[in-house]
Amino acid sequence: MSPAAGAAVPVDDEALASRLRDLALVELDALVAGGSAALVAAYADDVADALREARVRIAVLRGALGGADPLALVELPPRQRASDAGIAGVERARARLVAQAEAARALAGLAELAAALAPRLFEADRRR
């Protein structure tokens, strides 16, 4: 669980991305040509595990994109936006927009890598 209530657990998206990229580099034909069904099975299991991990992380990132609209403050009257509360609100909105942008970039990268790797799982399963 998390170290403290509300504390975010750091996630190394780059390590997951590297794992997905590395698995995509494996030449399945070379594994099959080697005649080792065990290697093909191990590769398929590793790909499935990496895709499961990516699935969980993508779901978390999708959740970070939800919630209240941070730009709803645009609908406030100018006097309210100019108040001290409005200034604090714009800082929260800015932070939320930056967090959403970071989550969207991470989600896009992982989704693209997973999309490239998913067909390899099916191919490896056919060759087991």
pLDDT digits over 34-74, tens only?
777 889 999 999 999 999 999 999 999 999 999 999 999 89
Residue type for position 45:
D
Residue 31 in this model has a pLDDT that exceeds 80: yes
User: Would you state the structure tokens that stand for residue 2, as one six-digit string?
Assistant: 């998390």
Mean pLDDT of all residues belonging to the chain: 88
pTM: 0.81
| CA separation for the pair 113, 22 (Å, rounded) | 10
Q: Are 85 and 18 in contact (CB under 8 A)?
A: no
Least confident of 11-25, 46-60, 78-92: 78-92
What is the chain's alpha carbon radius of gyration, rounded to the nearest angstrom? 21
DSSP 82-114: HSHHHHHHHHHHHHHHHHHHHHHHHHHHHHHHH
Residue 7 in this model has a pLDDT that exceeds 80: no
| CA separation for the pair 98, 102 (Å, rounded) | 6
Name the residue among 17, 24, 16 with its Cα closest to residue 120: 24
Average pLDDT rounded to a whole number, residues 94-117: 96
CA quadruple 63, 65, 66, 71: dihedral, nearest 10: 160
| pLDDT level of residue 81 (50, 70, 90 thresholds) | confident
Q: Are 87 and 49 in contact (CB under 8 A)?
A: no
| CA separation for the pair 94, 88 (Å, rounded) | 10
Whole-number pLDDT of residue 84: 86
